């Protein structure tokens, strides 16, 4: 199903395809531009291993008329965490890392300042207390990963590891990076391992560390947060989280200091690897990767044992996140469903949202891989109305397609009724 229209006004330029039965997703996608203030975006969904939604539309930048094209890529912020977590899942499947082993088994220098017993599971579950860095770290410093590793190893936890959990906004990716380098026999960076062992075999347009030869015309420009827009968001953003943002000494405020002055529209900030926050790609690529995991991971050599570890219940279920000050559920680098936030068809779903509204996940029970990306950043922590409308439409379509048809005898009686 294809279509296009003007890039501005009430007739958005929307292109792509939906499979029969998924037409409502396109309707909601178009409504995002007409009613929900969308600028440029893409959404993709796979069901039972087949692509059933692949839509893109709007403009590549808040200013100008350049259209969002089929191959347009955009930075997805913390949605990158899920890609990094799936990369470590491939590493786990190869037997290079044990989620329940101490991090120090693979990285001896990590065992400083009360971190010697922290397990990989605790680290990836945001339970390690390593939510900020006492030593300043710039985006340019990420070019010296040995230097970054020394800073990370010297960091003292903010709480007794394993006793609480709280969102490690940027630091978790730095620790993921060093773990990947330590356990890979070739000592590749996480982004390089992802590119060579995952993206290349699957043909994915996604990068952690954007190659310099990617042309600028393929990159969308994001509308960053602003003070004025933040004030307008007071009516719907979580109040507890807003208070934490405003309090200078809060864990959330301190966790946001890493790379806080970076302009993510400057491609130099995208060409280094920040595995928690600067992945660049298409919705199609992200949904495809989650679909591989939703189907059991065989295409990447991920067996049922690793999938069972990913989909097992989180160890900290529903407890208040001491950083975000809200209930949250994390496991092995992923956000997991709870009463709130809720996504997927069962507690076995896993994924990550990104700042501004992007979201992607796998639902193994429904066999769904899904991703939404956009360039207008909004202030919803989860369930951005633009994204949720699309996600809900995907699940309504699946429910309708799975609804059993009437038995032949019933159909016959209906046809002869006057």
325-382 tens-digit pLDDT: 888 999 999 999 988 889 999 999 999 999 889 999 999 999 999 999 999 998 788 8
Q: Please report, for residues 4, 305, 400, 402, 418, the alpha-carbon distance to residue 410 in angstroms, rounded to integers and kept in the order given.
A: 42, 45, 19, 18, 15
Chain segment 278-330, per-residue pLDDT in tens: 999 999 999 999 999 999 999 999 999 999 999 999 986 667 888 888 889 99
Confidence at 238, pLDDT banded by 50, 70, 90: low
Picking from 86, 45, 47, 76, the residue whose alpha carbon sits closest to that of residue 334 is 86
Confidence at 5, pLDDT banded by 50, 70, 90: very low
Chain segment 139-170, per-residue pLDDT in tens: 889 999 999 999 999 999 999 999 999 999 99
pLDDT given at position 368:
98
Q: Could you tell me if 376 and 38 are in contact, meaning their C-beta atoms sit under 8 angstroms apart?
A: yes
* pLDDT surpasses 70 at 173: yes
pLDDT given at position 411:
36
pLDDT given at position 64:
87
pLDDT given at position 259:
72
Alpha-carbon distance 415 to 418, whole Å?
8
* pLDDT surpasses 50 at 251: yes
* pLDDT surpasses 70 at 187: yes
Confidence at 208, pLDDT banded by 50, 70, 90: very high
The phi and psi torsions of 77 (rounded to 5 degrees) equal 50, -130
* pLDDT surpasses 90 at 249: no
* pLDDT surpasses 60 at 8: no
Percent of the chain at pLDDT exceeding 90: 74
Domains of the chain: 75-218+233-362 (3.40.710.10)
pLDDT given at position 369:
99
72 or 11: which carries more pLDDT confidence?
72
- For residues 1-30, give the mean pLDDT: 76
3-state secondary structure of 260: coil
Minimum mean pLDDT range among 2-16, 27-41, 79-93, 227-241: 2-16
pLDDT given at position 412:
33
Mean pLDDT (the chain) is 90
Start-to-end CA span in the chain (Å): 36
pLDDT given at position 239:
66
Alpha-carbon distance 410 to 164, whole Å?
57
Alpha-carbon distance 69 to 16, whole Å?
10
Which residues make Cβ contacts (< 8 Å) with residue 223, sequence separation at least 6? 39, 62, 375, 376, 377
């Amino acid at each position: 199903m294809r279509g296009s229209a003007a890039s501005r006004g009430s007739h958005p330029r929307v292109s792509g395809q939906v499979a029969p039965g998924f037409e409502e997703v396109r309707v909601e996608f178009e409504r995002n531009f007409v009613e929900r203030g969308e600028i440029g975006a893409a959404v993709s969904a796979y069901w039972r291993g087949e692509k059933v939604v692949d839509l893109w539309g709007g403009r590549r930048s808040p200013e100008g008329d350049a259209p969002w094209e089929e191959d347009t890529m955009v930075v997805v912020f913390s949605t990158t965490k899920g890609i990094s977590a799936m990369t470590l899942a491939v590493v786990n499947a190869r037997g290079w890392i044990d989620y329940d082993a101490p991090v120090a088994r693979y990285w001896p220098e990590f065992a400083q300042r009360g971190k010697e017993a922290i397990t990989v599971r605790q680290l990836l579950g945001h339970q390690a207390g390593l939510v900020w860095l006492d030593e300043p770290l710039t985006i340019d410093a990420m070019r010296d990963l040995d230097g970054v590793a020394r800073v990370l190893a010297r960091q003292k936890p903010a709480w007794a590891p394993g006793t609480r959990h709280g969102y490690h906004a940027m630091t978790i990716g730095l620790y993921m990076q060093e773990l990947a380098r330590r356990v890979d026999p070739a000592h590749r960076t996480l982004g390089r391992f992802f590119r060579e062992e995952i993206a290349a075999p699957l043909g994915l347009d996604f990068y952690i560390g954007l190659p310099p030869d990617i042309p600028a015309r393929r990159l969308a420009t994001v509308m960053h947060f602003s003070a004025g827009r933040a004030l307008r968001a007071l009516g719907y953003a979580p109040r507890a989280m807003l208070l934490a943002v405003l309090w200078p000494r809060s864990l959330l405020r301190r966790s946001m200091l890493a790379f806080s002055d970076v302009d993510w529209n400057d491609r130099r900030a995208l060409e280094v690897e920040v595995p928690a926050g600067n992945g660049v790609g298409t919705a199609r690529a992200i949904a495809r990767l989650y679909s591989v995991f939703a189907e059991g991971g065989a295409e990447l050599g991920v067996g049922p044992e690793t999938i069972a570890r990913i989909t097992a219940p989180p160890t900290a279920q529903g407890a208040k996140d001491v950083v975000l000050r809200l209930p949250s559920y994390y496991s092995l680098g992923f956000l997991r469903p709870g009463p709130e936030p809720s996504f997927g068809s069962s507690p076995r779903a896993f994924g990550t949202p990104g700042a501004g509204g992007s979201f992607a996940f796998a639902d193994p029970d429904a066999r769904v891989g899904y991703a939404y990306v956009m360039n207008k950043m909004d202030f919803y922590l989860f369930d951005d109305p633009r994204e949720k409308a699309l996600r809900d439409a995907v699940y309504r379509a699946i429910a309708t397609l799975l609804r059993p048809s009437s038995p032949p005898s019933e159909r016959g009686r209906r046809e002869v009724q006057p």
